[in-house]
């Protein structure tokens, strides 16, 4: 944990950044490559700590994984060839690793024990384990499986027809991955559509998945075959520079390789609704995940309301959207976002408390927050709560504050964006 003082003196931002790989897609590329038979090659992999945790877990299961820069090669003889690990699988800070691995391991033929860091130890796991138990999974853990450490004895599973109680791609993906090994057709019903990287990647690895009107159906017993995965840039990382470009003076930046999957692009819609000076050129590369180049310039922003079905499409962007709203004219209301309370930290409390320290006019509500802008921000000592996205929100704020911002722990940013501070130096003028 290292403290970092940020004294940027209100720079202008100019230039181009290539956005590093998407965290969700990077995790899944290693998971799918390990389940599949044959060789999988991945380009544009995110070398964030969360994704490295995923690689480490599969190596402990005996899968051969080589990392060469952002290229990863996975050689697997398939899920039935995995070895029972002699060590605990350590998932670090990664909810995606922990929850998706539960679904994968439940239908494997090995016994595993899984644990993570202090933040993971507080995050609810029953949302995944309850449906997996309905499928026949043998999972035990602290507080009857609500918290890590968890022990999973792989077994034969039966398909379920599951109505999702919350919009969560991690829960949906865990069920679908368990469904791969289950007898019968697994059906997951979503009221609000969450990110669909799992469905897209299942198809890429040769499986047939049907999706219609928020209902995903997937026949068990299908086998996956190794393939190539090209990881798009992470829109959740790009979001910090989209916000920075809009709120810093005299700025004009270009972000290349931004993943714009329609289940992830809520931030783009919000920027448009807030009147941001933004243009976007979609690339037509025919890959499984669409990408775009986005240009953003200093903007005169207006407040907006963010609620309902858009929330899962921008759930990880809410901390930086809150900062953006402090610089917009009028009121921004964020509702229906109670899921923020069970992220890496309680992001409603963390965002509101830290932005208040900088002078923002922001109040927490039961399911979100209300921000009144614009307010000039001043320096302060901020806490990150070990949460990468709270850390990056503080660092972007430091670009517009009078006086220095100090982060108590800047290291946590490496969870999703190890090059973040280097990229600030690239565009800062």
Q: Which two tokens stand for residue 43?
A: 């380009």
**Distance of closest approach, residue 197 Cβ to ligand S3P, in angstroms:** 7
Does 343 show up as a binding residue in the annotation? yes
| Region of residue 297 (left: phi > 0; alpha: psi -120 to 50; beta: else) | beta
Q: Which residues lie below 8 Å from residue 99, measured CB to CB, with a gap of 6+?
A: 125, 128, 170, 171, 173, 174
Q: Which two tokens stand for residue 419?
A: 């090059």
**Distance of closest approach, residue 316 Cβ to ligand S3P, in angstroms:** 5
Does 43 show up as a binding residue in the annotation? no
Strands (E), 231-310: 252-259, 277-282, 291-297, 305-306
Give one DSSP letter per residue of 103-136, joined into a string: HHHHTSSSEEEEE--TTGGGS--HHHHHHHHHTT
DSSP at 231: P
Q: CA triplet 178, 35, 21: central angle to 5 degrees? A: 100
Looking at beta carbons only, is 170 or 304 nearer to ligand S3P?
A: 170
**Distance of closest approach, residue 327 Cβ to ligand S3P, in angstroms:** 24
DSSP at 20: P
CB 202 within 8 Å of CB 321: no
* Residue of 50, 265, 316, 409 with catalytic role: 316
Beta-carbon count within 10 A of 385 CB? 20
**Distance of closest approach, residue 204 Cβ to ligand S3P, in angstroms:** 16
Does 59 show up as a binding residue in the annotation? no
Does 316 show up as a binding residue in the annotation? yes
**Distance of closest approach, residue 45 Cβ to ligand S3P, in angstroms:** 14
Looking at beta carbons only, is 56 or 252 nearer to ligand S3P?
A: 56
**Cα–Cα distances in Å, from 408 out to 77, 380, 388, 420?**
45, 11, 12, 16
Looking at beta carbons only, is 337 or 360 nearer to ligand S3P?
A: 337
**Distance of closest approach, residue 279 Cβ to ligand S3P, in angstroms:** 27
Calculate helix-pair angle for 347-357, 388-398, nearest 10 degrees. Answer: 20
| Site of interaction with ligand S3P (CB under 6 A) | 24, 96, 168-170, 173, 194-195, 315-316, 339
Query: b/e for 244-271, b at 16 or more Cβ within 10 A?
Result: bbbbbeebbbbbbbbbbbeebbbbbebb
Looking at beta carbons only, is 26 or 230 nearer to ligand S3P?
A: 26
**Distance of closest approach, residue 363 Cβ to ligand S3P, in angstroms:** 23
Distance CA 397, CA 240 (A): 10
Looking at beta carbons only, is 96 or 299 nearer to ligand S3P?
A: 96
Calculate helix-pair angle for 169-179, 197-204, nearest 10 degrees. Answer: 30
Looking at beta carbons only, is 28 or 60 nearer to ligand S3P?
A: 28
Does 168 show up as a binding residue in the annotation? yes
Residues in the chain, how many? 429
Does 391 show up as a binding residue in the annotation? no
**Distance of closest approach, residue 61 Cβ to ligand S3P, in angstroms:** 20
Looking at beta carbons only, is 177 or 323 nearer to ligand S3P?
A: 177
Does 389 show up as a binding residue in the annotation? yes
Does 99 show up as a binding residue in the annotation? no
Does 259 show up as a binding residue in the annotation? no
Does 359 show up as a binding residue in the annotation? no
Distance CA 284, CA 291 (A): 8
Looking at beta carbons only, is 195 or 200 nearer to ligand S3P?
A: 195
Q: Is 316 a catalytic residue?
A: yes
Instruction: Please compute, for residue 125, the number of CA atoms within 13 A of its CA located in the half-sphere on the CB side.
Output: 33
Q: Please name every residue paired with 217 in a beta bridge, in sequence order, or none if there are none.
A: 187, 210
Cite the annotated binding site by residue number: 23-24, 28, 95, 123, 168, 170, 316, 343, 347, 389
Cite the annotated binding site for 3-phosphoshikimate by residue number: 23-24, 28, 168, 170, 316, 343
Q: Which residues are catalytic?
A: 316
Cite the annotated binding site for phosphoenolpyruvate by residue number: 23, 95, 123, 170, 347, 389
């Amino acid at each position: 944990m290292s403290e970092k003082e940020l004294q940027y003196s209100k720079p202008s931002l100019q230039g181009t950044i290539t956005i590093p790989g998407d965290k969700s897609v990077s995790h899944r590329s290693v998971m799918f490559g390990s389940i599949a038979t044959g060789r999988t090659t991945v380009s544009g992999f995110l070398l964030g700590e969360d994704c490295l945790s995923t690689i480490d877990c599969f190596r402990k299961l005996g899968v051969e994984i080589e990392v060469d820069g952002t290229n990863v090669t996975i050689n697997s003889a398939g899920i039935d060839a995995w070895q029972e690990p002699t060590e605990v699988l350590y998932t670090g800070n990664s909810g995606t690793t922990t929850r998706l691995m539960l679904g994968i391991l439940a239908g494997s033929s090995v016994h595993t024990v899984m644990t993570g860091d202090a933040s993971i130890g507080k995050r609810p796991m029953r949302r995944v384990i309850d449906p997996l138990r309905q499928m026949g999974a043998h999972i035990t853990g602290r507080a009857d499986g609500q918290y890590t450490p968890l022990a999973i004895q792989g077994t034969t599973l039966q398909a379920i027809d599951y109505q999702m109680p919350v919009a969560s791609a991690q829960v949906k993906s865990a069920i679908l991955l368990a469904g791969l090994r289950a007898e019968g057709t697994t059906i997951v019903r979503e009221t609000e559509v969450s990110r669909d990287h799992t469905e897209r990647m299942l198809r890429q690895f040769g499986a047939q998945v049907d999706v219609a009107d928020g209902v995903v159906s997937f026949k068990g017993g299908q086998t996956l075959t190794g393939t190539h995965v090209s990881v798009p840039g992470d829109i959740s990382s790009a979001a910090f520079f989209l916000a920075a470009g809009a709120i810093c003076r005299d700025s004009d930046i270009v972000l290349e390789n931004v993943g714009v999957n329609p289940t992830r692009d809520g931030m783009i819609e919000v920027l448009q609704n807030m009147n941001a000076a933004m243009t976007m050129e979609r690339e037509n590369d025919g890959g499984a995940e669409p990408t775009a180049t986005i240009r953003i310039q200093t903007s005169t922003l207006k407040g907006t309301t963010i609620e309902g079905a858009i929330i899962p499409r921008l759930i990880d962007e809410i901390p930086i959207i809150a900062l953006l709203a402090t610089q917009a004219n009028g009121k921004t209301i964020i509702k229906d976002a109670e899921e923020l309370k069970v992220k890496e930290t309680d992001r409603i409390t963390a965002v509101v408390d830290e932005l208040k320290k900088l002078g923002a006019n922001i109040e927490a509500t039961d399911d979100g927050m209300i921000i009144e802008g614009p307010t000039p921000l001043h320096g302060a000592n901020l806490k990150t709560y070990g949460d990468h996205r709270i850390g990056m929100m503080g660092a972007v704020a430091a670009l517009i504050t009078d006086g220095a911002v100090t982060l108590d722990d800047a290291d946590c940013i490496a969870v999703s964006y190890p090059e973040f501070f280097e990229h600030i130096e690239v565009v800062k003028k």
